[in-house]
Amino acid sequence: MTPDDLTPPKQPGPGKTGPLAVRPGYAVGYAKPPQASRFQKGKSGNPQGRPKGAKNRKPSLNEERMKDLILTEAYRGITVRDGDRNVTVPIAQAVLRSLAVNAVKGQHRSQRLFAELLSAVETSNKALHDEWFNVALDYKINWENELTRRARMGIVGEPDPLPHPDHIRFDMQRGTVIISGPMTAEEKRTYDSAYNHLRHQVILREMCREAIATETDPKEREDLKRHFEIADAQIARWRIVLPEDLYPVRIDAALRKQMRALRKKWSILIAHEMLAADSTEY
């Protein structure tokens, strides 16, 4: 026995634990954790367990993560050489450009692939165009028939369709569809307000036209002519978005009645200034 064998073990300091008690014959080391921290038989190391189905969870129907990855990568910018300068283009464009260049150089596989891609795109665009044209044509014919039926049977008070069939025009030569009117209730309110301003300008122009015919004072005549030209210019501006054949302003009894009411209330020039100021927001 040596003197070291008789030396008592040191006591641990405050807040410290003593040396791990090692079972005789059990050495702590690689793949041999201390006895106290080993997994115990029959007791799970994760009592709560993994969420049900987590191991085999599939993306929900609206995730389509692979598509998102493909699109993100396809439109990521990449720097390429374009002549004597560097430009940044999407990867998809760079790939197509490389394919087109190789096709021009005579590579048969590139030529065939490029032709197939071009044909597929043009076929898809043609199908979409034809579908839109046919849908618009059917819509116009069906609603024209319905409005004719309403008129024949004296049905009134029913709201007009949006867009109105009269506002849908076709160019059969080019196969195009043009809608020259509102397509929603909100747009209709805007068009109605614009038409009201257009009508105001027509009234002012007619008031000036009639006043010029009877005015004898040269200065007053010149001033009336100037306001006539201003109203005429405003009307031309409105006609860009409100074609005359679709949005006519007839010089009828109702319009002349409004003109007479304005004359009683204001002079022609004051009326012009008031209504012209009303149109500045457009």
- The answer to the question of residue 175 being in a domain is yes
How high is the pLDDT of residue 252?
76
How high is the pLDDT of residue 281?
45
Structure tokens at 154: 């004296």
Please state the domain count of the chain.
3
Final residue in a domain of this structure, among 151, 179, 207:
179
How high is the pLDDT of residue 270?
56
- The answer to the question of residue 149 being in a domain is yes
pTM: 0.56
- 101 and 153 assigned to the same domain: no
Say if CB 99 and CB 114 are below 8 A apart.
yes
Spatial CA neighbour of 255 closest among 202, 195, 191? 202
- 78 and 152 assigned to the same domain: no
- The answer to the question of residue 78 being in a domain is yes
How high is the pLDDT of residue 260?
75
- 211 and 269 assigned to the same domain: yes
- 146 and 112 assigned to the same domain: no
- 175 and 196 assigned to the same domain: no
How high is the pLDDT of residue 180?
87
| Alpha-carbon torsion angle 113, 115, 117, 121, nearest 10 | 180
- The answer to the question of residue 2 being in a domain is no
How high is the pLDDT of residue 246?
82
- The answer to the question of residue 56 being in a domain is no
Supply angle C-alpha 85, 86, 90, rounded to 5: 140
- The answer to the question of residue 232 being in a domain is yes
**Structural domain boundaries, residue 172:** 141-179
- 192 and 269 assigned to the same domain: yes
170 three-state secondary structure? strand
The helix/strand count (H/E) of the chain reads as 8, 4
Spatial CA neighbour of 208 closest among 220, 219, 217? 220
Say if CB 272 and CB 204 are below 8 A apart.
yes
How high is the pLDDT of residue 43?
73
- The answer to the question of residue 259 being in a domain is yes
- The answer to the question of residue 28 being in a domain is no
Residues 6+ apart with CB under 8 A from 221: 212, 215
- 270 and 237 assigned to the same domain: yes
pLDDT tens string, the chain, 282 residues long: the values are 555 555 555 555 555 555 555 455 566 777 677 777 776 777 766 777 666 655 556 666 666 788 888 989 999 999 988 888 999 999 999 999 999 999 999 999 999 999 999 999 999 999 999 999 999 999 999 999 999 999 999 998 898 999 999 999 999 888 899 998 899 999 999 999 889 888 888 888 888 888 888 888 888 888 888 888 988 998 999 888 888 888 888 877 877 777 777 766 656 555 555 555 555 444
- 79 and 119 assigned to the same domain: yes
How high is the pLDDT of residue 282?
43
- 109 and 172 assigned to the same domain: no
- 204 and 265 assigned to the same domain: yes
- 273 and 189 assigned to the same domain: yes
- 145 and 112 assigned to the same domain: no
